Each structure stands twice: as structure tokens, then as C-alpha cells.
Chain A
Amino acid sequence: MIISAYQTHIFILIFIYIILAVSLNLALGYTGLLNLGHVAFYGIGAYTSALLAIEGMPYLAAMIIAGLFASVFGYLLVTATDRLKGDYLAMATLGFSFVVYSLLLNLREITRGAMGIPGIPKPSILGLTVRTNDQYLIFVLLICAISVFIMYRIVKSPFGKLLEANRDNAVCLRVLGKNTFGLKYKAMMISAFFAGISGSLYAHYITFIDPTSFYISELILILTIVIVGGLASIKGSIVATAVIIYVPEILRTLDLPSSVLGPVRQALYAAILIAILMLRPRGIFGKVDLE
């Protein structure tokens, strides 16, 4: 392999987060749903897939079911927040993140609660086990490419244009006789499905998950990616993921005493993000503002 194991690891994380960020952008950027519950779908996917695989289910099946299961929660979330818009939707979906976190923590018979789940098996597809990180990188790249391609086709399709129309002017769209509620359901379910898939990829890569892996700090990370990359821009989300995951790693190599390196790294990272948003307030490739 031409790149080191460390770089392989970073690239694997980048590809996992690309799926996660692009799927959030589908709901947040394209459909205009201010969804702060995305991290919950990610967690649900990770737990579902991990638990099913430990029970002996083949990996691909576990991954698809993880996506579908997250999708079901996407449906439920829209059902519960149907009439909310903007900030109110944000609050309600943030609440959803808390509830799922609390469930993961307290449904101890199923999730082992705060103890987390160690020893999640590496994926095995048609008898071939993905053992090394290099193999995992190829596998993740493949899934990432397929997922992003599907989402790209969706946003470029007439259906995708309807989603954008719903974001820009829902009333107008309703006057034209379109079912805007139906659009919201579909968008959220697709978005949740891919979040579940990326959760599954994460769980089987790290092989250990616990509820804190799917909480506020992750939520902030993926929101940052989408906002820095620009709303309603798949390209933006991909570039931003690479930048946001890579920059802290570059900062690791700063030649500073260990006592200040940690905080300095965080401060510089924040400064870089602020600089990007000052230069490009709508994000790197952003075209729209969210009301």
C-alpha cells in the first residue's frame, strides 16, 4: 500500500463521514428540514448492525437492516414533528437525539447501556472477511461511492427539484397540488437510511461502540461539515468532510510541548473554521441560506 496505516484510517473515517454528511445535507440543505436528530439515526444504525452481526447475521443484511431501521425512525420523527418548522423543528429533533441517547444508555438488556458493545465482528461478504484496514478502505470507498451516487441522482431528479422547491416555498408548492408532507417523509427516510448505513460502517470498523459515540459532539461535527461545505451542495459536503477530518490531524504534527498541544490544536481548528465561514458565509460551495 502506498499510504501509511494512519492515513488509511483517516481516509476510512472521511468516507464514513461523507455518507453521513451528504445524507444530512439531503434533509437539511435540499429539503430545508432543520434536523438535529441525524446523529440519532447514525447511532441507531450502528447499534442495529452491531447487535445483528453479533447474533450471526451476514454483514450485508445487517447493514441494510440497520439503514432500514434508522429509516423507520426517520418516519416516526417526521410523524411526531409534522407541523413544526424552522427553529421549532430543530428543538424537537434535538430532543429526539437526547431520547435516543437515553434509550441506548438505559435499554441495558439490549444495548449493554454505558458499558458499550466490544468485539463487533469485521464485515464478511460472501465468505470474504474484510480484515485489514486497506481492505476496509476499499470496501468503505465502494459503499461511499454507491451511496453518494444514489443521493446525487436523487437530488438531480425531478423529485430532488421538488425537495428544493419545498425548502424555498412550501406554500407555493402546495398550491401547485404537490404533497409537501409526503416529500418530507421521503426525504427524511432516505436521509436516515444512509445515516444508518454509515453508522453500520463505523461500528464494524472501530469494533467498539458506546452511547457517547453518538451524542452532542458528533452532532456538532456533522452539522459543522454540512454548514462549512455549504447547504444543498453534495460537492461541498464531500470537500468539507475531508477538510474537517484532516485539519486536526495536520495539527497533530505541530511541534509544540505536549501540555499546550491539545488546547492549541482545538483553538487553531476553530480559527480555521471561522476563517472559512468569514470568507464564504454560505459555506465553501453553498448556494442557499436557510430561513
Chain B
Amino acid sequence: MRTGKFGKVAIVMLIILGILFTAGCTDTEEVTEDTGEDTITVGIMGPYTGGAAVYGNAAKDGAMLAFNEANLSNVEVIVEDTKSETKEAATAMNKMVSVDNVQAVVGDLISAATLAAAPIAEQNQVVMISPASTSTDVSDAGDYIFRTIPGDDGQGIFAAQTMSDAGYTKLALLYTNDQYGNGLATIITEEFTSLGGEIVAEETYEAGSSDMRTQLTKIKDANPEVVYIVSNTPDSSVALLRQVTEIGIEADIYGSEGLKVGSILELGDSVEGITITSVSPESEEFKQKYMDEYGEEPPAFAAQAYDAATAIIMAIEDGATNGEEIKDKLYEMEFDGASGHIKFDENGDVEGGYVLVEVQDGAFVTLEE
């Protein structure tokens, strides 16, 4: 019985402690509101644990690089983990908005997380700039929602036009059954058919799986002239390309940037001539800066996060003090960032540039566009 009582008391205390803890935070919020008119809090949110942690940390490092460089005395940066879950993203956004009183946020990466947090940001007039969410739904998420990576429609249209211009008329699609794969495939299908082409096969696979023989066999039977592959994990990319050779698909292979990983080059001759559509690479200047700071080449989304942070910094330097003013400045600004030219359109999207990358003699070669 004694332990029973002890247990109950401990739990009740834990809860009270929790309430006091967060209540304490509310107090500090009021203090900053009263005294610190000058301090503007900016948040960074993304997945730092869980499946997408690699991308999340890269984006955080990229954004922090910009904030450290600018070293603004009136800007305070806070970081929140969202574990790539929608619920966590909503919680993190709520916390940053009401406890830390943030005015702008760099994040989230995963489109689903961004879409879950966006209504909260919009309602509280907090600017949100995603460095990685490419879903077309993000365009319509609200006035305060921006991104520094072009949406799926950009890459999809670019890929469809490139393949159409190269004279292909029979296309097969193989893509991951997730937000990214579906988004891209939908746009490519629309654009390619409107350019007079035909989609002869459309197959999906679960993200992270390594056996696509069934799908590839079906694609082979449909006899396409070209296959477009959407993959976003290195393991799947390698497995896929190996199986393309194994099954003996004669068609030319195009793919999204997920194929642009060093490990596919180990497959040798069989990957020669593969063409990859990719967002324009980061600037050499940024690459150098990132390497000096972190000792490795910038991973995906680091440059986009750097640009998102830069945009917020520029708005603040320009005199913006709250979310609404930052938003207005963002729609006006234009600059050459680490990931390319940044100019937000009326949906808060950037146009972005794309390049074609081809595997030639065992290396990725960027073709002139």
C-alpha cells in the first residue's frame, strides 16, 4: 500500500511540476514582450531525431551558419525537434509561437509536417520558410508560408519537357509511394501527356524498399522508350538501378535528384548515360563556407536553409520587427542566394533553376542548360 501511495504522490507531483514549468515559461514570455522590444526570436524546426534526421540536421546547420554569420544582436534563435511527425510539428509550432514568441521560422522539411504547422503559423502571423517541402499543397498553405526550394511542379515540368524535347513519346514512371514521389509523378504525367507523349506504365514502390523486380518487369513489358525514376534514399537508388540492368530494360533512364548519390557510380558501365534532373547546385562560395565550418560537403537542403535564414535576416536588417512586417519584406526582396536566385512569388514560392546531370565515364557531369 505504501508504494501505491508513493506512486500516486509522485505522479501528481510530476504533473504539477510540469504545469509550473510551462507556466514559468509563459511568465518569461511576458517579460520579453515588455522589456525586449528589440529582441526578435526566430525559430528553426525540423526532424533531428527519427528517419529524416540527416536532412534535418543539415538544414539546421545551414540556417545556423547564416545566423552566426549575420550575428545580429537583436535576434535570438531557438531550435525545435519535430521528429518528422505531423503532430510534433504542430506542437513545436504552438510552443514557439506562444512560449518563445517567435516571428519567423525556418522549417519544417517534410511536406506533411510543414502543412500541419502552417495553419498555426498563419493564424498567429508568423512567417514560415521551408527549405525542403516540395508538395504543391504548400503553395496554397497561406500568405505567411514561403519556401526556398521550388515545388514539385517546377521539377516535374522541367523533367517532362526535357524528355519530350529529346524526342521520347513513350514514358514509364517508377516512383516512391510517398508525398514526394506522388507529387512529382502527377505533374510529369500532366505535362508529358499535354506535350503529346504517352505514359505507358506507372508503378510505385514503398520508400526504403530494395526489391522492385515486379514493378520493373511490368515496365519492361510495357516497352517504354524512357523510364523516369523517383527515388529518395541511396539504398533504393542503387538497388533499383542494379535491377534495371538485371531485368534487361533497354529504355533510357532518367531520374530525380535522389539518384545523384556517389554509391550508384560503383555500378560501373550499367549506369553510364543516366540523366538526372536536379535543382541547381549550391554556389561554390557557400560550399566553401560550409566546409570550413563543418568539415564536410553541404548535404541536401543546407543551401536552401541558409537562404531561408538569409531572407529572414535581410528582412530584419531592413527594419522588420514582427511576422507581418517580415512577410511584407519577403514578398519584395530579391537576392542571389546559396541555392540560386531567390524571389518569392505571390504564393511564397521560388522559381528555382534546374540542371541536367549525366553519368559520364563514372562521374556526374552537369550539362549546360
Residues of A within 8 A of B (CB): 3-7, 9-10, 13, 105-106, 108, 113-116, 118, 206-210, 212-213, 217, 239, 242-243, 246-247, 249-250, 252-253, 258-259, 261-263, 265-266, 279-280, 284
Contacts and interface: CB of A to CB of B under 8 A. Distances in A.
In this complex, the interface size class of chain B, counting residues with CB under 8 Å from chain A, is 35 or more
B17 interface: yes
Nearest to B141: A118
Given A7-B22, A114-B177, A212 B85 contact: yes
B7 A213 contact: no
Contact of B182 (A10, A115, A261): A115
Contacts of A206: 86-87, 90, 116
B26 interface: yes
B114 to A, nearest CB: 9
A226 to B, nearest CB: 16
Which of A10, A210, A217 has its CB near the most chain B CB atoms (within 10 A)? A210
Name the 9 nearest CB pairs between A and B, nearest first.
A258-B79, A5-B98, A262-B48, A262-B81, A9-B94, A6-B98, A4-B26, A262-B49, A114-B178
A118 B137 contact: yes
A210 B94 contact: no
B112 A249 contact: no
A261 B135 CA distance: 29
Given A206-B87, A262-B83, 7 more contacts: A4-B26, A114-B177, A114-B178, A118-B115, A209-B86, A213-B85, A279-B3
Nearest to A5: B98
Interface string B165-208: 00000000000011101110000000000000000000000000
B111 to A, nearest CB: 8
Interface in B125-141: 135, 137, 140-141
Given A243-B11, A261-B79, A262-B49, A5 B94 contact: yes
Given A13-B91, A243-B15, A249-B22, A114 B179 contact: yes
Contacts of B72: none
Nearest to B7: A280
A208 B115 contact: yes
Interface of B: 3, 7-8, 11, 14-15, 17-19, 21-23, 25-26, 29, 44, 48-49, 53, 57, 60, 79-81, 83, 85-87, 90-91, 94-95, 97-99, 112, 115-116, 118-119, 124, 135, 137, 140-141, 177-179, 181-183
B274 to A, nearest CB: 25
Contact of B49 (A250, A252, A266, A284): A266
A42 to B, nearest CB: 12
A266 B60 CA distance: 19
Contacts of A249: 18, 22, 91, 95
A6 B21 CA distance: 12
13 contacts: A6-B25, A6-B26, A13-B87, A105-B177, A114-B177, A118-B115, A212-B85, A213-B87, A242-B15, A249-B91, A259-B57, A261-B81, A263-B48
